[in-house]
Structure 1
Amino acid sequence: MSRPLLALLTAALLLPAMARAECAGQNILDSLPDADRSALHAAADAVPNPRGLLWRATRGDSTVHLVGTYHLDDPRHAATMARITPLIDATTTVLVEAGPQEEAALMADLARDPSLMVATEGPTLREALPDEEWALLADAMRARGLPPFMVSKFRPWYVSMLLAIPACDGAVAVAKGGLDGMVIDHATGRGIPVLALEPHETVFRLFQSMSFEDQLGMIRSSLALEPRSADYAVTLADAYFAEEPRLIWELTRHLSLTAPGADVPTVQADFTRMEQTLMTDRNRAWIPVIEQAAADGPVLAAFGALHLPGETGVLRLLEDAGWTVERLPL
């Protein structure tokens, strides 16, 4: 899943220590009318490479294995690691969204400049949001162990990232780092270089380019899913392990568009903007990094699964650059 890096790195610091509360919701797809479920699958299948988590890209003598990851902890990752461990061991370089050096640099930036995450001027979220929306946000943050008065001062893009972490998963799931963390730990233990696909400040730059109102739109999109957060978390994980990453995106959009009181044009615009900012722009920037690493030997690149499919997904962009991509059994 393409959860943006900053939430995964900092939420564990902000949320109080707690026992892991497993998400015990129901799979939303199972409860949808047949017509809606079919429409979602059709929408997912309309883009290139909608299914699959493990791929091989070749061009000449160069080989890159690509693994779509899920950033939260799940016992099902053990089987995935068993499958990809021989691929990691055979690589010259492992590429991830953020390696240990980037994590350390990010934490240092936050310690040095809290304004990266906390607004020092302009309206607080309590002042910017209507009472009804603020009440929903306050409840959602309390469920994550965060006092609303503190959240009110956070930059809105960061709050949207906190909302992306299901309350029922809590800080423990985030702290473990999901499949990404497992890949990094294994490669580091074997002495295989782990390099980042992007500079550690990328997430900051992406969101700094968005207006305050656009960032509020991200909060609203997240709040639309909050009443069914446990169901949503279970559904996302199930879809991921069913190797259907694009279905995750289509379902998220569907739930936001059909939420009570949703303004359809606004939601559509928000999703277009988020896809461009959080996925497309980053995907394009990753291609030369992957190609440069592949020039030195076999590469395994592990990153959020939502970056794989689509017209501007990593797989299609590699194809456009002359690579042949092949889905492998996971």
Structure 2
Amino acid sequence: MPRTLLSRLALALLALCLAAPLAQAECSGRNILDGMEADARRALITATDAVPYPRGLLWRATRGDAVVHLLGTYHLDDPRHQDTLARVTPLLAEAQTILVEAGPLEEAAMMQALRRDPSLMVITDGPTLRESLSDPEWDLLAQAMRERGLPPFMVSKFRPWYVSMLLSLPACGMEGLAQGKGGLDAMVIDYAETHAIPLEALESHETVFRLFDAMTMEDQLGMIRSALALEPHAADYAVTLADAYFDGESRLIWELTRQMTLQMPGQDPARVEADFARMEQALMTDRNRAWIPVIEAAASRGPVVAAFGALHLPGETGVLRLLEEAGFTLERLPL
């Protein structure tokens, strides 16, 4: 695999950070929420409000002398990040440690791992995606990958979990990614490096591989099918998710994705709910629980800023509730 393509793919994987489907401000589309019927909108809000801490991107957690500022991020480039960075710069300046999902060391380690063992991302034994998907499914996937600048013959050999991650990047967001544009996470990392503030990762680069290695092939193919169901609305979906993020609606993003998937033709509601439960467990809950000791250890050394995908904040097993259960007092801050 050419190094430039490998670099682009690894960067895509890091940008996704497994948190949620993402978007970029350059995508041109309409906000789905604006045209949503009243009953559907109420159902969406009700589902959003059913979990703890459904809104807010900036929080302060305190326990005794320990102080942690938690910043929910959006992983791709958007000009609105400049205002956010200006708001949190005083917090970053005071931090003894800055925590992110994946930093430069993790990116380098991932690149090295992929070069050393291509089977982490490429199917080396067994049926390819072309052989595993139906003809209509493959045709949809091939077109979606062409729009993202990736040849279908190559994508056919990718592991399905990775293809589902690529599908969660809309085609309109790939150009900025290829140009190396980063989101709020990248801006926080740049600040830490520029000002020589210790920067640590919340998890190892191996986390992504372990997560999906534990999933069955059928579960991974199910992720592709779910992503393909939303593909016709990708541009509108991208704009909607970006706007929801900057409105501080961190949980609404997840509930909207669930609602849209359920409304797609041919979807089995029971299967959709089961798939979402498995994804939430693997992509959020398990990782959130593993992050808490890392946050606590950093907080024992002084003030901390922890910046990670906004979808990790809300929910019964979100980082905010887990910190609350660990004895921290939480305060939502204006952003």
TM-score category of the 2 structures, normalised to the smaller one: over 0.9
Amino acid at match of 1:108: Q
Q: CA deviation at 1:7?
A: 6.2
Deviations 1:53-85 (A, max 9, x none): 000000000000000000010000000000001
Gaps of 5+ in 2: 1-8, 17-23
Matched, 1:287 2:292: yes
Deviations 1:163-190 (A, max 9, x none): 0111011142463220000000011100
Question: TM-score scaled to structure 2, two decimals?
Answer: 0.93
Amino acid at match of 1:27: N
The whole-number CA distance in structure 2 between the counterparts of 1:7 and 1:259 is 30
The answer (yes or no) to whether the contact 1:21–1:168 under 8 Å persists in 2 is: no
Matched, 1:297 2:302: yes
The whole-number CA distance in structure 2 between the counterparts of 1:53 and 1:109 is 33
Partner of 2:185: 180
Matched, 1:225 2:230: yes
Matched, 1:48 2:52: yes
Partner of 1:275: 280
Question: Equivalences for 1:20-169 in 2 at 5 Å?
Answer: 22-169=26-173
For the structure 1 residues 11 and 86, does the alpha-carbon distance in structure 2 shift closer, same or farther, using more than 3 Å as the test? closer
The whole-number CA distance in structure 2 between the counterparts of 1:98 and 1:35 is 39
Partner of 2:20: none
Amino acid at match of 2:106: E
Q: CA deviation at 1:255?
A: 0.5
Amino acid at match of 1:288: P
For the structure 1 residues 284 and 11, does the alpha-carbon distance in structure 2 shift closer, same or farther, using more than 3 Å as the test? closer
Q: CA deviation at 1:21?
A: 9.3
Deviations 1:94-147 (A, max 9, x none): 000011111111111011111100010111001000111111111100110111
Question: TM-score scaled to structure 1, two decimals?
Answer: 0.94
Q: CA deviation at 1:22?
A: 2.3
Partner of 2:254: 249
The whole-number CA distance in structure 1 between the counterparts of 2:25 and 2:207 is 31
The whole-number CA distance in structure 2 between the counterparts of 1:234 and 1:302 is 22
The answer (yes or no) to whether the contact 2:59–2:71 under 8 Å persists in 1 is: yes
The whole-number CA distance in structure 1 between the counterparts of 2:300 and 2:182 is 29
Matched, 1:170 2:177: no
Q: Percent identity?
A: 71
